[in-house]
Structure 1
Amino acid sequence: MSTLVGWHVELEFSEEGQRTGAAALIRLADGSEIKARGYAMRHPSDPDQLRVGEEIAGARALMDLASQLLQKAHSEIDEASGRHSYPLTH
């Protein structure tokens, strides 16, 4: 029998001049939360495409979130096993 588990991830965006920011938040089943941020800068000669800035900033925030989640998981493995684990980078 399989167990269904879900995570709730939130992404919020802000735009200030030529800079787009993304704030990511994930709530895990153990009650913990991980927060991350990502940014994108638009060159002054680039066309104003808010969606593209959101995609870049959002992707960067999610990559940071993924990295923090891997660190958390490996810390828990290390604590439970009493030895150092090595996350795969790719």
Structure 2
Amino acid sequence: MEDKQWTVRIHITEDGDDTRAEAVLTTEDTPEDLMAVTGRGVAHRNPIDRPIPEIGDELAASRALEDLAIRLHDMASDDIVQLAGPVET
């Protein structure tokens, strides 16, 4: 069995009450000239709430990871449609 390692890096930026996150998936097989799979998430603090940046970070990061999971699932589904079935001889 072959071991593989996939890495997800989460980049978080804050601008006032807005927090944005990008979750970027790279694999050992990802060629440098190709884009990695990226999920994006946003959180917006309600002005009447206390300013606790960690909460915005957590929400934006979780939303980015959720978006990444959906994109990865869609890629797998597309591959199944294109490549599934018996091998042609």
TM-score (norm 2): 0.83
The residue aligned with 1:48 is: 51
Mapping 1:48-67, distance limit 5 Å: 48-67=51-70
Per chain length, whose mean CA-contact separation is higher, i.e. which structure has more relative contact order (CA < 8 Å, sep 6+)?
2
Runs ≥4 in structure 1, deviation > 4 angstroms? none
TM-score (norm 1): 0.82
Unaligned runs of 5+ in 1: 83-90
The gaps in structure 2 that reach 5 residues or longer are none
Taking only the aligned residue pairs, the percentage that are identical comes to 33
CA RMSD of superposed structures (Å):
1.4
